[in-house]
Amino acid sequence: MAEQVERERMDFDVVIVGAGPSGLTAACRLMQQANEAERELSVCVVEKGSEVGAHILSGAIFEPRALDELFPDWGERGAPLNTPAIRDEVYLLKDESAARKLPNALVPKTMHNVGTPGAENGRNYVISAGNLCRWLGEQAEELGVEVFPGFAAQEVLYDEGGTVRGIITGDMGVGADGEPKDGYMPGMELRAKYTLFAEGARGHLGKRLIEHFDLAKGRDPQHYAIGFKELWDVPAERHEPGLVLHGSGWPLDKETHGGFFLYHAENQQVVVGLIVDLAYSNPYLSPFDEFQRMKHHPLLEQYLEGGSRVAYGARAITKGGINCLPKMTFPGGLLIGCDAGTLNFAKIKGLHTAMKSGLVAAETVFEAIQGGDEGGQELTSFTTRWEQSWAYRELRETANFGPAIHKYGTVMGGAYNFIDQWLGGKLPAVRDTTPDHAKLEQAAQGRKIDYPKPDGKLSFDKPSSVFLSNTNHEEDQPSHLRLKDSAVPIRDNLPRFDEPAQRYCPVGVYEVIEGDDGQPKFQINFQNCIHCKTCDIKDPAQNIEWVAPEGGGGPNYPNM
């Protein structure tokens, strides 16, 4: 924009970026402590989604350990934990029709959801993570937290000494040409003593902070997966509330790691999904199409047949574990939850560990402020508290899980981890120091995949899927998917990798079309973007940068 604009300034004790599990937990715990100490404390949560929960996507099997610490009376408060897990089944899909059920004795203890230590009645719960966040948002507001949905944190505020002092929210009402439209509203400066970044996987400000403060020094590069999820209404006779299915194998080949999940939730609904490791090598692989054909396996079809798909979404998962966990402290703030990478991938769970990081952050920040701290310090005591927590211990105990699967494959890597857990972590450490984007083979070495046409009953195309995500962006705004060099997709990625963005994007944002001059042209349909961040992670040239669009844009996930 041509002119420097005057921005409104608001001051808080704590600003939290992201109304996800870690951010809302931190907000609630901060206010609990303030109310107990009879101290005034101003806490603000900014959320880019149109409402709290709109951008939240997770399986989800929920271990309530951190929730028990935050709200021991969560049942009386009406927390949406209504379906306890009653039975676990784990399968290996051998091909498109055969499956082998693993004996319970051979299932790693991290995959057990019934009889789980720390869970009420020894159980975990099948939940909607979005609804859990909506409920946490209500608790936060009742405690006195100011929650601002529809406002995207666009920039980090630094003072002259390089200390984080808050964030700047994005301008509203800017046209695609970068000029203000009617109704233009400049972003606000939200200043704070401490700022907590809780944006979820591959948060764009978290990514910048990691680079700016060199927080990943000495760590392995972070690793990611893309997770797909659909919500289905199913006939009563096919529904068993609390039944939990996990598995691996077909349709993914031996070089592509991942696995499926199918959970029986409440209200005659089933959630089904596929997690595909973004370290895959074949540039012709389409994770979306792998997911769609997976549902035709008889093991899954038996629960979905006769049902109707009511929601769809996809999201990157930060899955590197403790080897990849960056330093989480810097002057003036903290990086928490999946913005840092606290998910325990061996459990296929991250909500409980994200929430625990929020609890530790809140207690550290409040102690500092209560002691007269005016902000801007590096709260190194957070690291001590975090490393003494059960969440950190979980990550330490499962450090080999992801690297072993990358090195030995899903089956042999799974066996390595089973033995490692059985021996109490005595096997040699395994590391993976190659970034996911660098694993992609060139097209000449890749294998083209002939995906079956969707039948419209169990499998579907991308346009109908993005429709079910309720995604919307104002068309006349700058694209939030930025190319560092606009020539790279056609000049480099197309001849070398057959431009894999056409396939790894789960909603068809990226296309290679014929231009007016008859030459290939790279087209970005940013209106379809569901904010999964896969392009930011998997682009082999690291040429695509995802930034937050105008607040309120993106998916509006119901009950996901």
Q: What is the mean pLDDT of residues 140-146?
A: 98
The pLDDT confidence band at residue 4, using thresholds 50, 70 and 90, is: low
Give the pLDDT mean for 300-318. 98
When mean pLDDT is compared across 6-10, 322-326, 333-337, 527-531, the lowest value belongs to 6-10
What pLDDT, in 10s, does the model give residues 261-285?
A: 999 999 999 999 999 999 999 999 9
Has residue 308 got a pLDDT over 80? yes
81-126+222-318: which CATH architecture? 2-Layer Sandwich (3.30)
| pLDDT reported for residue 512 | 97
Global pTM reads 0.96
The answer, yes or no, to whether residue 156 has pLDDT greater than 90, is yes
Q: In which residue ranges of the chain is CATH 3.30.9.90 found?
A: 81-126+222-318
Residue 341 has pLDDT above 70, yes or no: yes
Q: How confident is residue 415, by pLDDT bands cut at 50, 70 and 90?
A: confident
User: Is the model's pLDDT at 1 over the cut of 60?
Assistant: no
The yes/no answer on whether domain 11-63+130-169+185-220+322-398 falls in CATH 3.50.50.60 is yes
- State the average pLDDT over residues 333-352: 96
For the segment 103-113, what is each residue's pLDDT rounded down to a tens digit?
988 888 888 89
- Please list, in sequence order, all residues whose beta carbon lies within 8 angstroms of the beta carbon of residue 543, skipping any fewer than 6 positions away: 483, 484, 485, 488, 489, 493
Give the mean pLDDT of the chain: 95
Mean pLDDT confidence for 506-529: 96
What are the start and end residues of each CATH 3.30.70.20 domain in the chain?
462-555
Query: Could you tell me if 319 and 345 are in contact, meaning their C-beta atoms sit under 8 angstroms apart?
Result: yes
Instruction: Choose among 525, 480, 509, 531: nearest CA to 56.
Output: 531
* Percent of the chain whose pLDDT exceeds 70: 98
Task: Taking each helix axis as running N to C, give the angle between helix 390-397 and helix 351-370, from 0 to 180 degrees, rounded to the nearest 10.
Answer: 140
Please tell me what DSSP assigns to residue 109: G
For the range 366-370, what are the long-range contacts, defined as Cβ-Cβ under 8 Å and sequence gap of 24 or more? Answer: 366/29, 366/30, 366/33, 366/34, 366/41, 368/194, 369/13, 369/14, 369/41, 369/193, 369/194, 370/33, 370/37, 370/39
Average pLDDT rounded to a whole number, residues 539-560:
95
Assigned fold of 462-555:
Alpha-Beta Plaits (3.30.70)
The percent of residues above 90 in pLDDT, for the chain, comes to 88
φ, ψ at 358 (rounded to 5°): -65, -40
- HSE-CB for 68 with a 13 A CA cutoff: 13
Residue 57 has pLDDT above 80, yes or no: yes
**Segment holding 274, helix H or strand E:** strand 269-277
The bridge status of strand 83-84 relative to strand 61-62 is unpaired
pLDDT band at residue 2 under the 50/70/90 scheme: very low
- Kindly tell me if the per-residue pLDDT of 116 is higher than 70: no
| CATH 3.50.50.60 residue ranges for the chain | 11-63+130-169+185-220+322-398
Q: Contact at 8 Å (CB) between 471 and 555?
A: yes
Q: Is the pLDDT of residue 424 over 90?
A: no
Higher pLDDT, 2 or 201: 201
